[in-house]
Every structure is written in structure tokens, then in C-alpha cells.
Chains A and B, each alone.
Chain A
Amino acid sequence: MKRSHLIALVIIAVAVAALIGSLNDSSSYADLNEAFAQPGEEFHVVGTLDRSQPIVYEPSVNASLTRFTMTDLKGRSCEVKLAMAKPADLERSERLVLIGEASADGAFHAKDMLLKCPSKYNEENKVTAGIGSDN
């Protein structure tokens, strides 16, 4: 076998391994039902903040624990224990992506969270809607 063929083979092998590896390491988007069907397994859960329930953050007890309730896109709610200080704009968020796992205690234990705050577009609409109703 010639050296160039060997190199080509090695490269293809590493590229395929990288592709499979990146897929294998990826976690998955899920709703709460799926997350709770496999407790301990890591998921990304997309949902919204349930504003009817309190956001509990007691920094003097544990500065990196925030508890709140989220509703996933299918409407199921559950308590979330987020191992972080409460982000300043949690209340303003329109969408949450929680990264973590379901736990046997019935709560979703999140180690990280991405917040999507009102986009530029929505805010734009809000202002113009206000203007429209003035007249």
C-alpha cells in the first residue's frame, strides 16, 4: 500500500470517527415526558417559565440554587432546580432551554440554562401596537 493511500485512509477514518463522535456526544431536545421517562439521562428541554408559580431564590441559604416551574412545549409543567444564581432577566424570558436531567424527586435538575429574551422584532411590534391604539 502506498503512503498516500495510507494517509487518505487515516484521514477518512478520523473524519468518520469525528462525525460519529460529535453525534454521539450530542444530547437531545426532549419534552418533559421523555426526560422523566429516562431519569439521569441528559436532555435539553425547551419550554417557558410558568409565571403563576413563584421563583424561589434564597441566596443566603444556597447562592447557586434557583427553583421555579417551567412548562414545556407540550404543556407539561414541572419544578426546576437550577444549580445557578438566578439570572437577572429570568422573569423577562420568553423561552428557556434547560440542560440537565430528570430526578427521582420529581424535579428537573438543570445545570445550565439558555434564556431567550424578547427579540428585537417583538419589541418593535409592541411599540407600534401601542402607537396604533393611541389613534
Chain B
Amino acid sequence: MSYIGEHTWAGQLGHFLALVSFAGALLALAGYVLFTRGNDPGWRTVGRIGFRAHSVAVVGIVVTLFTMLFNHWFEFDYVWKHSNTEMPLRYIASCFWEGQEGSFLLWTFWNVVLGNLLIRRAKEWEGPVLAVFALVQGFLATMLLGVHIGDVRIGSSPFLLVRELPENIGLPWTHITDYLQKIPQFKDGRGLNPLLQNYWMVIHPPTLFLGFACTLVPFAYAIAGLWTRRLKDWMAPALPWTFVGVMVLGTGILMGGAWAYEALSFGGFWAWDPVENASLVPWLTLVGAGHLMLINKRKETSLFTTFLLALGTFLLVLYSTFLTRSGVLGDTSVHSFTGEGMLPGLLVFMLAFVALSVAMLNTVASNRRFYLGLCVVMLALGVGLRVQVPAILLFGAVSLVMTVAAYRTGPFHVEAEEKLMSREFWIFIGSLVLLLSALQVSFSTSVPVFNLLLEPFHGVLAPLAERTGWGWLNDLAQAKLAPPANARAHYNKWQIPFAFIVALLVAVGQYFRYKDTDRRRFLRELSLALAGAVALTALGTWLLGYRFTELDLIALFFATTFAALANAFYIPKVLKGSLAKAGPSIAHVGFALVLLGALISTSRQHEISRNTKGPVLSLLNEDFNDSKDMLLYQGDTLPMGEHFVTFTGKRQEGVNLYFDMDYLSAEPNRYHAGDTVRVRNSLFRAKDDHTPGPEFLADQPAHWEPVETFSRSALWRTPRWTARRPGGRTFALAPLVQLNPRFGNVAEPSTKHWPQRDLYTHIRYAKLDTLGDGFMPARLYERNVGDTIVTPTCVVLIDSVRAVRDSVTIARLGPDYTVYLLNMKVRDLYDDSRWFEARPVVIYRFDQPVGSKGFAIPQLNVKFDLATVKGRQVGLNVSEREFVIMQAIVFPGINILWIGCILMAAGTFVAIRQRMRGR
């Protein structure tokens, strides 16, 4: 059967190329392995041909998928799910990597780029390094195959037609030849998640995946070193790649932070979400690995740790991939992928590379054979006997034991004691702290995995938990462990001390000399930076108001300023101003500033939006608050922090609904003799001209005298006392809501940037249609005459309803019509002496309501519409004047963080260039 309008050839081409890429990777693997073992250049040629074929196929897949997306061929599932015709073309790239398959493809693509660079540059390392690349590429290629072997599906192909999806096969519509024309759903795709329609999402994923790809280079070199028994030689060529990885991955992570800050409304740039953690952990270990490679020439004892970190970084990348793409995180992450049957493949991928790493570390051949034998047994246990979890746990334990055995038996065990005052010793310690920090983040992110792993051991753990009485053990036993409820507090508790140690080491590290350092000179060179850091810390503590109980924050402030100053001073003092050599120092200054900016902005971020409407009104102090959100009626001007804010209106541009907010300066108020103000239910008259203090009570006896008698209407008319009044417009912000019926509406923040702080605002709640009636959606109350209604702002007494049948009405409307008039008394909910009357009207023709005339009470921001009258029962619609709820957060010092990012990337770049030239 042939279908009309399908571009089946593109799908077939894609499938074919996926197979070619897999076959090419296998060929390259075979060729390079044989070349490495026998050193026969013929096999190298085979390996190169294989890798080139693989590369051409991968590029072909990328081009095919882009072609499908560009041309909107919605018969393809991937195109239909991730794009539509309305979307701006520049976001096609985001569609490409929104899905599981596309992001795997992106990763594969970067590996191909790096692999081809290495073919040209790796020289004598080409064989073993490219063999590892080919193995990784083979695994990645299976993720895109989408073939079925028996009941097992291997990978997931982006080239499936919608009618080929398993759940659609056999459905009646798949037999219609012109289904593309007939079925309207195929006219357009489902579109891209609005959160991803952001320029950061065009550059953040490729950067991050390039960073992930870079971690493969030190891994491949480390394996190559173990394989060829050149345990140290691999580090020199791997080193620049490692720091390229540090730079690119670090930039990618922080771009993710920038995206979260600019486009997401969770209020910040980092939330310790599992997906964020998954990218941070490999970066930490990669930094550790890179620094260990630097010192390895001089420090024999760190060799094994260097291997552990270089191998571990890539394994952690695989682990992150497993965590975020297999679906095991489940309910704990907002933005991880759903599983879609990827779990077994990803698990095998990860465990295979763990096995490879441990096997290679065991340089004694008998141990390696023993370990590989055990791996096969455990694989058989897991797959054959279907006891996966115990098999995996056993595998983990065996791998751990064999890693220790590798250290004890291999050439790594060196008996040497280095000097305490040496650079290599402290860099080594710093790398270990980075490793610990990475482990802690990993542990806490892995909580859902613990549940899975420990489920079969319920019988053992439950009695143990009962005996010890430990709550978490009980949760563990029942496999119901949830991640820390307060993630920020939990991670900060652990990571602030780690960051403190690392920052101190960054500060002093370069002042240590290799081998041994003269103590006096060391102290003399550091004294200025130390004094500066103490002074800055004192200043910062005072400015930011850190209290003694926040000693951890003060300590980190000190350590980061110390690190920034010490490294900045290093350039003129020790390097004599040579910028070419200053790369490491610049990068370290950047790192310290990132930490400092994160510290200042997260510890002193504060909501300045306050709900000043409602029952707990600011009575005497306008800064009194009960909430983080602020309700703002359209047109009202309310104080917010050091500004006044007005919600002037909203406008729609495409799918974006903008809420225009004007920010006015706050001027000190000025009262003159004779002015009257209202404070609660009393009036006061000013005795003299004065500028009010922060609270009324402070001014009251000196400048104000009570007004003894006054009428109620005078009370309401008189303005409330305020310390400040709105001045001129200083700036405007327009936070927006992206309307998206399919994915849900998304609020995007709008931020005002100053050098020293940001004002970040976003909409929490608003009326999302653009009907210009100026009122919120009504709420219908059905009550009888005599009843009371309590609405959010007022109390309504329904007095009476009467039919108006006077001669004028009858003459004007005709005899078929009846006009009903409702008499109500309305009281301000928060002021029991403030009464109004309201008389809404409804017109009936026979027994159908045909028109109505509402009644608004502007003082109470409310409008009444009479909907129905049935005898004594009335239906009353109550609507409030249009408002929005917004949140405004001040982030102080966030620019320090962004400047730090740039310095870190730039410094690393300079350092890599310097090292490449030096070689």
C-alpha cells in the first residue's frame, strides 16, 4: 500500500544511516583494537574507514532530521511531537534536541567531531583512544536504532512515522492512503514546549553536550594509558582536552543557570534540581582530574587518584544520563525526561563502562580475568535469572573490592611522603575535596535509586530499622525515601563547607612552590591579599547584614574574596604582569567570583512584593508583611520595596500576554500644618510642617494631634498616613505569560538590571483573556432574599427584590418584559462601619433573562451583576476589578556571578592556549 504525501524515503534514509553509524562504529572498534594489539597499520586504516563511515552517517542523520523539521513533515512522530508551523524558525534547533533521541544525537555528533580531531592529532595514541571512542559511539548508536529483537526494543528511533508507533499499528486510520490530507491533526505538529522557546535553549544544550563529550577524551586517554601500560604518558596529551572540557561544561552549566534565571519563574538561577546536579557533578570531578594531571609529574602518589577521577568523570556523565533519561527520578524532578523504555539500554551502557574501567585498572592479568569472569557470572544472574537488583548490587560491591585490589597490587602503590608545604600536596587535597563534594551531591540526587536498589532487602532492613529506631532506615526499608524536602538548605549545609575549603585552597595554591615552599616568603606574598580579604569581609558583613549565626556565610565570603584577591595579585606580583601566563589566575578569580556572587545573591535575595491588601493590613508600618506575593489592582499604585509600582494594563503580542508595570520612585512624603490623615479609625491633624519618619507612632505626639469629632464620610475620604509618596516613573517592566493551551501557560519573568543588584518580577496569577471589561471572572452566588454573601472583599446583605412595572417601563419595553431590581447593602469586609448600597437590575422576557445592568462599587473594587430572579431566589454574579498577583525578588550582587563566569571561561582558554604553545 502506498500513502499519499508521505516522505517515507527520509525515514528510510534515517533508519539506514542509523544502521550504518552502528556498523561503522563496530568496524572502527574492531580495526582500532586490532591495531592497538598488533600495531599493524592496515588495521588502523580499517579503523579509520569505520570511524569515517560512522561520522558521515551521523552527520547524515543530523541533516535528515533537520530537513524533516524544516519542512514540517508531520507524518513523522518526532517532528509532530516537537515542532509546529507557528513556531519561529530560529527555534527549530531547540526542537531538534528537545526529545530524548535528538539530544542523544547531539551528544553523538560532538563525539564524532572530537573523534575526528583526535584522528588527526592523537598520533601514537590514535589506536587505543579511538577504540574507546568507537565503543562509546557503538553504544550511543544503539540508542537511535529503534529495532526490535524478540520482545526487547533497542533504542528509540527519531524516524518513526506516527502510523508506525506501536500503539497505532492496526488502528483503522492507518489503512487510509490519504490520511495526511484527511485527518486534520496532521496539518500541524504539537509544537515546542514554551519553556524551551528561548534563545538560551538554542545555545545551552549544544554547549553542555560538547562539555559532556569532552569528558570522553580524558577517559579514553586514561584507558589507553592503562591498556598500553604507559601509565603517565597519556596525561600530557589529555590535559588540554580536559581543560577544554572544564571550560565548555562549566559555561554550559552556567548558561543553564542563566536560562533558568531569565526564562523560568522558580525564582533563581540554581535550584539543586536533579538535572542540574547531574551536570554539576561531572564538572567537579573533571576539575579535580585536570588539576591532578597538572601535578602528576611531581607527585607519584596521586597517580591512582588521577585515574579514578579521569575515569570517574565519564562514568558520572553516564550515571547522570541514566538518572535523567531512564525515568528513575520519577516524581522528584520537574524537568527530567520520561523513561520511554530506555532504562535497560542505559543501564547496560553505564555498567559496561564501569566494568571496562575496573578491568583496565587491574593491571595484573590474573586479577583482570578473575574480575571479568565475575562480571559475566553477574550478567548471567541479572539477565538469565531475572534477579537484576541483587546482581547490580553484587556487581557494585565486586567492582569496589577490585578497585581497591587494583590499587594494592598494581604499580600505583607508591611509598613516598611529600612535603606539607608543597603545591602538589595541596592541589591533591583540593581535588579530593572536589571529589567529596561531587559524591555528596550524587548521594542526595540518587535517593530514588536507593529505593529501587534496596526494595528486595525489605526483609533484612525492616527489623534493623525497628531496633535502631532510625527514621531514614525505616523509609529505606520500605523504599519510600524522598529527596530532602528543603533541597537548598540540605545542599547548602554540605556544600558551603566544601566550597570554603576549595576557595581557601584556590587562594593559596599558586603561592606554594612545587616540592617545598619557604614559609616566610609564602606568608609575605599572601599578606596583602589576606588583609584585603579581611577588610572586604568586614565591609560585606556590615553591608549585607550577616549575623553571627551566619558564620558559615561570613567564612565563605572571606574565603572567596581571599581567593579572588590572592589570584588577582598573583598576576602583577609573581607573573610580573604577563597575561599570557595568567590564565590559571584569571580562571581562579572567576571561580571565586562565581562562588561569591552565588553566595551574596542567594543568601540575600528577598521578596519585596508584599500583600498589602487584605485583612492583615499594614497598620502603622508600611513594611509590615504577611506574604511574598502582591495583589495589584489595575491602575492602583502601591509601595513595593523602595519603589512604587503601578499595573497599567496588558497587551498581547502573538502568544505572549505582557503585563505592563510602571515603577515610580519613592519620594519622602511631606506633611504641612493642618493636613489630616487617617490612621486605622482615627483622624489626626498635623501640628507643623514635617517629613514623616518610618512609622507613624514615632511622629505621633510630636507632629500630630488627634481630631476629636469627625463624620464617617470624612474618615473614608481622608487619605491614609504614608511615609513616602510615589514620584516620577523610573523604569517599566513587562513580565509575561506565554499562552499555550497544549502545554499550559507559562509565566516568564522580567528583570531590571542594575550593576549591584537585579529586580526580578514575575506574574503568579492573572486574568488571561484579553476582554477589556476590566474585571476578573465573576463568581455566581445563588441566595434567597434576606441572605448574606461574604465575598473576598465585602459582605452583602440581600434586602429585597422587586419587579418594576411602572408605566414608563412598560411603555418603553412592551408588556412581555419584566424588570427586576435588587436592593442590597454592601459592607467593606475589613471595615464594619463602611456601608454602601447597590441596585443591580435584570430584564426578563417571559421567563428568560435577556439583559442586565450591573452595579459597581469602585471604593470596594467590586461589581454586581444580577443573573437570575426566581421568586425569592436570586443569582448574583460578583466580580472584582481586574488585578494581578506578582512576585518581585531582589537579587543583590548577581552580576558578580556573571562576571565570574566570563573570567573563568576566558582564563581557562588563555591557560589552554599557553600550554598548547609550550608543548
Residues in A lying within 8 Å of B, measured CB to CB: 2-4, 7, 11, 14-15, 18-19, 21-30, 42-44, 46, 57-64, 85-86, 88-89, 92, 95, 97, 99, 112, 114, 116-117, 119-121, 123-125, 127-128, 130-132, 134-135
Contact B483 A95 (CB under 8 A): no
Total inter-chain residue pairs, C-beta < 8 Å: 160
Question: Known interface pairs A44-B485, A131-B185. Does A25 touch B490 (Cβ–Cβ under 8 Å)?
Answer: yes
Residue among B81, B484, B630 facing the most chain A CB atoms (10 A cut-off): B484
Q: Can you name the residue of chain B whose Cβ is closest to the Cβ of A3? A: B417
Say yes or no: A85 contacts B885, CB within 8 Å.
Answer: yes
Minimum CB distance partner of A116 in chain B: B331
A84 and B443 CA atoms in complex are apart in Å by 30
B651 at the interface (CB under 8 A from A): no
Known A7-B429, A61-B792, A123-B742; judge A85-B417 contact (CB<8 A): no
Contact A22 B747 (CB under 8 A): no
Is B883 a contact of A15 with CB atoms below 8 Å?
no
Provide the bound-state CA to CA distance between A3 and B419, in Å: 10
Find B436's partner among A18, A43, A46, A135 (CB 8 Å cutoff): A18
Known: A22-B444, A63-B764, A131-B173. A29 touches B481 (CB 8 A): yes
Give A24 to B765 CA distance when docked, in angstroms: 36
Q: How far is the CA of A28 from the CA of B171 in the complex (A)?
A: 43
Bound-state Cα–Cα, A24 to B417, Å: 37
B185 touches A127 (CB 8 A): yes
How far, in Å, is B777 (CB) from chain A's closest CB?
12
Residues of A contacting B301 in the complex (Cβ-Cβ under 8 angstroms): 4
A residues in contact with B480, CB < 8 Å: 28-30
Q: Roughly how many angstroms separate A85 CA and B628 CA in the complex, as a whole number?
A: 10
Chain B interface size, as a band, is: 35 or more
Complex contact A60–B494 (CB within 8 A): no
Per-position contact with A for B730-745: 1 when CB-CB < 8 Å, else 0?
0000000100001111
Q: Answer whether A86 and B765 are a contact pair too, CB < 8 Å, given A26-B484, A135-B173.
A: yes
Alpha-carbon distance between A64 and B885 when the two chains are bound, in angstroms: 9
A-side contacts of B417, CB under 8 Å: 2-4
Are B490 and A135 in contact (CB-based, < 8 A)?
no
B482 at interface by CB-CB < 8 Å: yes
Asked if B36 CB lies within 8 Å of chain A CBs, one says no
In the assembly, what is the distance between CA of A114 and CA of B447, in Å?
17
List, in ascending order, chain B residues with CB within 8 A of A121's CB.
338, 340
Tell me the smallest distance from the CB of B813 to a CB of chain A, in Å: 37
Given the known A-B contacts A46-B331, A135-B172, are A23 and B436 also in contact in the complex, defined by CB atoms under 8 Å?
A: no
CB–CB A19/B475 < 8 A: no
Q: Which of B527-535, B611-619, B819-827 contacts A (4 or more CB under 8 A)?
A: B611-619
Please determine whether A24 and B472 come into contact, CB atoms closer than 8 angstroms: yes
B880 contacts chain A at the CB level, 8 A cutoff = yes
- CB-defined contacts of A119 to chain B, threshold 8 Å: 338
Contact of B631 among A18, A30, A63 (CB under 8 A): A63
Q: B493 — which chain A residues lie within 8 A by C-beta?
A: 21, 25
Rounded to whole angstroms, the CA-CA distance of A120 and B167 in the bound complex is: 14
Minimum C-beta distance from A15 to chain B (A): 6
CB-defined contacts of B168 to chain A, threshold 8 Å: 128
Do A64 and B173 touch (CB < 8 A)?
Answer: no
The answer to whether B880 and A60 touch across the interface, beta carbons within 8 angstroms, is yes
- Choose among B334, B429, B443, B481 the residue that contacts A19 (Cβ–Cβ < 8 A): B443
